[in-house]
Structure 1
Amino acid sequence: MTTLLSAARDVTVLAQEIKITPTRPPGGDKLTNLVGYLSWLVMLAGIAALIYAGGKFGWERWQGGAVESPKIVFAALVGGIIATSAGVIMNAAVSGG
């Protein structure tokens, strides 16, 4: 039993936490601008998808056919949620919590 406790104590010593603090690389401002532009494009695409889905919904209701536009709305909303929370998701994935 004492050897088991001794082994457990050795394992806890080996599993010490390593702190890593990310730093911005040289030229990081340009990358931040690029990410900002891409974020703007993603939002623009989401708005365009919602407008398209609204028009398609009206057309489908007028024609009396199958209504498929809610799928487009749902996909645009899920994509927007993921895109706007990408920083939080990556921070949780990289920092582990």
Structure 2
Amino acid sequence: MNPLLAAGSDLLAQLQNPSPLAPPASDKILQMVRYLTWFILLSGVVAITYAGGKFAWEKWTGGGLESPKMVAGAMIGGVVATSGGTIMNAVVGS
């Protein structure tokens, strides 16, 4: 076989099946993403706890009920925040 054809065939084989490499400093970026994920989850728990306490206070004092919207908003925000990775894997991963 011609050496030029063999080199071209090897090059084509590498181009058709590339192996992914992590970018430089990707471990630091992933660590930052993990920290942000924990912060988002913690803030969601705090928001639901605060809204639940406010709901109980509004119920006890007989005031207007605004906190059920806060609870619903915190829950919807939590669902969106925690499903972000799954959505990105479904869109980009395939």
TM range (shorter): 0.7 to 0.9
Structure 2: gaps (5+ residues): 1-15
2:58 match: 60
Q: Pick closer, same or farther for the CA change 1:94–1:21 going to 2, 3 Å.
A: farther
1:10 match: none
Secondary structure, counterpart of 1:85 in structure 2: helix
Counting aligned pairs with the same residue, the percent is: 51
CA deviations on 1:13-66 (whole Å, 9 max, x unpaired) are xxxxx9887542111110110000000100110011011111100110112122
Structure 2 distance, partners of 1:60, 1:19, is 62
Structure 1: gaps (5+ residues): 1-17
Q: Pick closer, same or farther for the CA change 1:31–1:60 going to 2, 3 Å.
A: same
Secondary structure, counterpart of 1:25 in structure 2: coil
How high is the TM-score relative to the length of structure 1? 0.70
Secondary structure, counterpart of 1:24 in structure 2: coil
How high is the TM-score relative to the length of structure 2? 0.72
2:32 match: 34
1:9 match: none
1:13 match: none
Q: Pick closer, same or farther for the CA change 1:67–1:27 going to 2, 3 Å.
A: same
Query: Paired residue for 2:73, among 61, 72, 75?
Result: 75
Instruction: Give the alignment's Cα RMSD to 1 decimal.
Output: 2.1
Structure 2 distance, partners of 1:21, 1:71, is 48
Residue 75 of structure 1 and its aligned partner are, at CA, apart by: 1.0
Q: Which range moved further: 79-88 or 37-46?
A: 79-88
